[in-house]
Amino acid sequence: MGLRLLWLWELGFNMIDLFIVVAYFLLVMIAAISGRQKKELTSEEYFLSSRSLKWPSIAISTIATNVEGYQFLGMMGSAYLYGLAQASLEINAVQGILLASFIFIPYYLRDKIITITQFIKKRLGKNVALIYSLANISLFSTITIGAALFWGAYAADIVFGEYLSLLHKDRLTRITILILLLGLFSAIYTYLGGLSAVVRTDIIQFVVLLSGGMVVLLMAVHHLGGWSQLYIKTPKLMHLHLPSDHEKLPWTHIFGLFLLNINYWCANQSIVQRSLAAKNIRHAQIGLMVGGLMKYVMAVIIVVPGIALFGILGENGLSDPDMSFPYLVNTYLPIGAKGLVLCGLFASLMSTVDSTFNSLATLWSIYIYKEYLNKGASDKQIVEAGRRAILFSFVTGVTVGILLLYIKFSDPNTAFTHTLNELRYFINCGIVVIICAAVFLVAPNHRITFTTFLGTIIFQFLFISFFPEMNYFVRAMWIILLGFILIYIFSKTNFKNPIELFKSGSKKIKRIGLLMLISLILLHIIFH
């Protein structure tokens, strides 16, 4: 009788969480299709939501896209080891967000572009625009979608494998099914509704993600004994800056991170697209800066639980730091909260994947398809080309995700996350050089810019060969600076007037931007 009651209690426990998960997926799909008022959408409606987005939608959707499943595993695990230094990857995003708000986005909105490619073509010529598009399409359709699907499904299974055994008892098969189903679900609503559907679902996903993260955070701090115990039990972990010779996070990495943030926040179509869809510059700037404030919140949610867990378990705690998040969830979370956290992991995956689907479709249809394959394409044909691109990227992304899964299972100790970042930076360093030349130089030479972009890839190999121990953020900094200087010198051009570059919707927005910059500086001083 006792065993039967226990079984029934466990069944109730599972059913509550299962109900929360099912309700979440239903809510997301309803939100995705609810805004469809007509069957045929124009390209501007499909890719830019008719340029009608207001700042709350821009803020929430942008940050939802930014947060990925691996952050809860990898970054929380790193926080367990390195403390607040891991938070620098989150809070320093404000650097790139402020640059996007006051320099890059005003530039883009002035030209009324749909893709960054159009801006690059105008400033740097057709060839540079083409290589930018192809580079991003290649990354989006393989590494970005594939890694997001893998890490999201893998993280969900690590934490909730018992629940997810409903899909399949074999773990490898189960995660494969998860990758396929979550990728398909995201592709369907993105295919049907375009950016509007992505934004609506991102809002729901961010609320769920934030709620799940807050539950884990508060539970971890509670079991530590309160916020003050962070300084009492883990004083060595409460520093943003680690020594310059630190293997993973030397304080010098913030300079390379600053430049790479230009790529992510200023030149990444999946991030910038919301701002391009803004009702006006004011909404774009406020949305981005509110998103910057959310990055502070996400830093706390992702990093502090790892520090708290170290304080709870002590020096001889977890043998594998990446198990920090699963340990907290499985040890401390009550009935119902687990279902919410599982939804949060799914939300972090889908909010990244759906945005990538949409931006890839935009890059392909607006530039590649219309410019090279069908110059006389109608709006309907452009939208259909974008939808075909979504289907194609679903296949490639799922394939890469499953491939990463099999690599992980064949060698559980493999650290391919580092390898994937390396591959991204081979391309991203060149993109930073391109976009900075386009924005900050008066008349950059098109051929030299094109050649330098290719040269940054060669620079990567040279730096790896001659400076193998150099932190990859630091390496990225030197490569970007070298590439930009070469374009500046050989183009025989000048820098634009900094005052003319800076644009703002109002004096109030300028003050908000200044306060955000001051807040970032103060954080570095207080937690140095």
Phi and psi angles of residue 170, each rounded to the nearest 5 degrees, phi first? -75, 125
Question: Is the separation of the CB atoms in 150 and 414 below 8 Å?
Answer: no
Q: Which amino acid is at 490?
A: F
Q: Which helix (H) or strand (E) holds 418?
A: helix 416-440
Flag whether pLDDT at 444 surpasses 90.
yes
pLDDT of residue 37: 53
- DSSP codes of every residue in 349-400: HHHHHHHHHHHHHHIIIIIIIIIII-TT--HHHHHHHHHHHHHHHHHHHHHH
pLDDT tens digits, 450-483: 999 999 999 999 998 998 888 888 889 999 999 9
Flag whether pLDDT at 218 surpasses 90.
yes
Q: Is 208 helix (H, G, I), strand (E, B) or coil?
A: helix
Among 220, 222, 216, residue whose Cα is nearest residue 345: 216
Mean pLDDT score of the chain: 87
More confident residue, 441 or 498: 441
State percent of the chain over pLDDT 70: 94
Predicted TM-score (pTM) of the model is: 0.89
- DSSP codes of every residue in 457-516: HHHHHHHHHH-TTS-HHHHHHHHHHHHHHHHHHHHT--BPPHHHH---S-HHHHHHHHHH
What confidence category does residue 416 fall into, taking pLDDT thresholds of 50, 70 and 90? Answer: low
Structure tokens at 123: 């400033």
Q: Which helix (H) or strand (E) holds 523?
A: helix 507-526
Distances (CA, A) of 45 to 277, 348, 445: 9, 25, 35
pLDDT tens digits, 44-102: 888 888 888 899 999 999 998 888 777 777 788 888 888 999 898 889 999 999 999 99
Flag whether pLDDT at 340 surpasses 60.
yes
pLDDT of residue 338: 82
Q: Which amino acid is at 48?
A: L
Give the residue extent of every domain in the chain: 45-415
Flag whether pLDDT at 111 surpasses 90.
no
- Dist. CA 187–CA 207, nearest whole Å: 21
pLDDT tens digits, 350-365: 888 998 999 999 999 9
Flag whether pLDDT at 426 surpasses 50.
yes
Question: Is the separation of the CB atoms in 489 and 441 below 8 Å?
Answer: no
Compute CA 399 distance to the chain's CA centroid, rounded to the nearest angstrom.
20
Flag whether pLDDT at 446 surpasses 90.
yes
- Dist. CA 216–CA 235, nearest whole Å: 21
Q: What average pLDDT score do residues 33-54 get?
A: 76
pLDDT tens digits, 166-210: 778 888 999 999 999 999 999 998 998 888 888 888 888 899 889
How many Cβ atoms from other residues are within 10 Å of residue 304's Cβ?
24
Structure tokens at 503: 């644009």
- Dist. CA 23–CA 39, nearest whole Å: 26
- DSSP codes of every residue in 59-98: HHHHHHHH--HHIIIIIHHHHHHHGGGGGHHHHTHHHHHH
Structure tokens at 421: 């970042």
CATH second-level architecture of 45-415?
Up-down Bundle (1.20)
pLDDT of residue 12: 45
Flag whether pLDDT at 253 surpasses 60.
yes
Flag whether pLDDT at 214 surpasses 70.
yes
More confident residue, 308 or 41: 308
Distances (CA, A) of 372 to 174, 376, 484: 41, 10, 29
Buried b (16+ CB within 10 A) or exposed e, 455-485: bbeebbeebeeeeeebbbbbbbbbbbbbbbe
Least confident of 99-108, 257-266, 497-506: 497-506
pLDDT of residue 33: 78
pLDDT of residue 38: 55
